[in-house]
Amino acid sequence: MDSDIQTYVSSHSDDPGYAGRIDIVTGPTGRRRWPEHVKAAMVLETFRDGVTVADVARRHGVSAPQLHAWRRAAREGLLPMPEDDALGLVPIVVSGGAVPGDRPETSLQLEIVGVRILVPTGFDAAHLGRVVAALRETSS
């Protein structure tokens, strides 16, 4: 991205007629405006395995705090995000009929990599996240 590089040139002279310092600035100056689809693409990159926010920010010439702000906006629904498998979301199917063998207190049933998980009402969401992550890890 050569257009993102700022160059500063100064000229000083003791010759007669010297009017003062001359600075030439090339490249973008001031605030840049990023289209929402570009912001969303950068945010999606940060969710991929083995990628850090700092690496993505450096690659695109954005500050890491700015990219963190866009991630927060995406989590809060303020930045429209395209559907992507990188987020690791699990599709949920709601059915009206009871599944044989289900206990009445089961509120959610997940099927991940061929394993059926019956999630009871009031189950700790953080623990469920660890279970799902462990299942995905073993399937890789």
Domain ranges of the chain: 2-85, 90-139
Secondary structure (3-state) at 75: helix
Residues 90, 116: contact at Cβ < 8 Å? Answer: no
Token code pair at residue 116: 């059926």
pLDDT tens figures, 7-17: 555 555 666 66
Q: Note the pLDDT tens digit of each residue in 40-83.
A: 999 999 888 788 999 999 999 899 999 999 999 988 888 888 76
> From CA 65, how far away is CA 42, in angstroms rounded?
13
